[in-house]
Structure 1
């Protein structure tokens, strides 16, 4: 499992679909929002948490189609299906590699990019906490969507249509917790709901993804 994780991390960085692409897209979105909204610091501070969360969600979405694509193209996925390793473990390592190469850099960059959105000082801790708790759910849900569309030529659009509705609860609770933190309000309830979504996704979706992959590989 550790060797597989290291291989996926190396592929994610070298293939150009992980760290660099997601982080660059996140930076572009956050940089362009002030130009579109205009020089209104109060407005930027109000919409900042939601825009940062939306940018992180879309950045994660960019690289989902590459989670299984390379293994499908070179036949490695068939070998993994017949290996003694459980398919659920394979899927979990794929999701973890995606989070490390895509989600974790976004968590690290969000506080710095929050300066561009004129976020108040109390907003940075809840923003970081929500992204740290919520981005694993984005990767796990995205892995499930990638398993559904594996082998489909040009399935990126279909993958986006399948995954985006599943991302909505994570976006709602993550942005709400960050917004409440920015307003110096109690944000424990949406934060716990966000943690519950992440824990539920990690507990259930690897089994669903593995079952879908077994069906697609028949």
Structure 2
């Protein structure tokens, strides 16, 4: 599993779908928002948690179609399906590799970009916490969508349409955690709901993704 993880990390970086593309998109979204809504610091501060969460979510979408595409094209996916390693473990490793190359860099850079949106000082920690709890679910959900659309030509748009509705709960509760943290409000409920969503997705969806892959590989 470690060898497979290291291989996927190298492929993600070499294929251009790693942290660089996601970070560039995240930066562009954050920089353009003040031009669209105006330079009012109070307004920017109020919308900063939602904008940062939405930017991270959309940045995660950029590399989802690459999760299985390269392995499908060169036949590696067929070999992985027949290997002693369970397909559920393969899917989990793919999701982890996607999070390490896309989700984790977004988590680390989000507080820095919060400065551009005048995020309240007390909100930086909770923005970091909410993204750290929520982005693993985005990668696992994205892996499920990639498994559904593997082998389809130009399946990127379909993948986005399938995955975006599944991202909504994480977006709602993640942005709410960051917003309440910035305002100094009580945030136990949205924090627990966000953690529960991520835990449930991580526990259940690898089995669904593996089942879908087995159907697509027949």
- What range is the shorter-chain TM-score in? over 0.9
Deviation, 1:146, is 0.2
CA distance in 1: counterparts of 2:18 and 2:150, whole angstroms:
18
Query: 2:20 maps to what in 1?
Result: 20
Give unpaired runs (5+ residues) of structure 1: none
Question: What secondary structure, in the 3-state scheme, does the structure 2 residue paired with 1:121 have?
Answer: coil
Query: 1:67 maps to what in 2?
Result: 67
Q: Cα deviations across residues 65-111 of structure 1 (Å, max 9, x unaligned)? A: 00000000000000000111100000000000000000000000000
CA distance in 1: counterparts of 2:215 and 2:18, whole angstroms:
27
Deviation, 1:176, is 0.6
Query: 1:8 maps to what in 2?
Result: 8
Q: TM-score, normalised by structure 2?
A: 0.99
Question: What secondary structure, in the 3-state scheme, does the structure 1 residue paired with 2:65 have?
Answer: helix
Q: How does 1:132-151 map to 2 (within 5 A)?
A: 132-151=132-151
Q: How does 1:1-218 map to 2 (within 5 A)?
A: 1-218=1-218
Question: What secondary structure, in the 3-state scheme, does the structure 1 residue paired with 2:193 have?
Answer: helix
Deviation, 1:39, is 1.0
Deviation, 1:188, is 1.4
Question: What secondary structure, in the 3-state scheme, does the structure 2 residue paired with 1:68 have?
Answer: helix
Question: Aligned residues, how many?
Answer: 218
Deviation, 1:139, is 0.1
CA distance in 2: counterparts of 1:69 and 1:23, whole angstroms:
21
Q: Cα deviations across residues 129-188 of structure 1 (Å, max 9, x unaligned)? A: 000000000000000000000000000000000000000000000001110011110111
CA distance in 1: counterparts of 2:6 and 2:109, whole angstroms:
23
Give unpaired runs (5+ residues) of structure 2: none
CA distance in 1: counterparts of 2:194 and 2:14, whole angstroms:
32
* C-alpha RMSD of the superposition: 0.4
Q: Cα deviations across residues 18-54 of structure 1 (Å, max 9, x unaligned)? A: 2111011000000110111111000000000000000
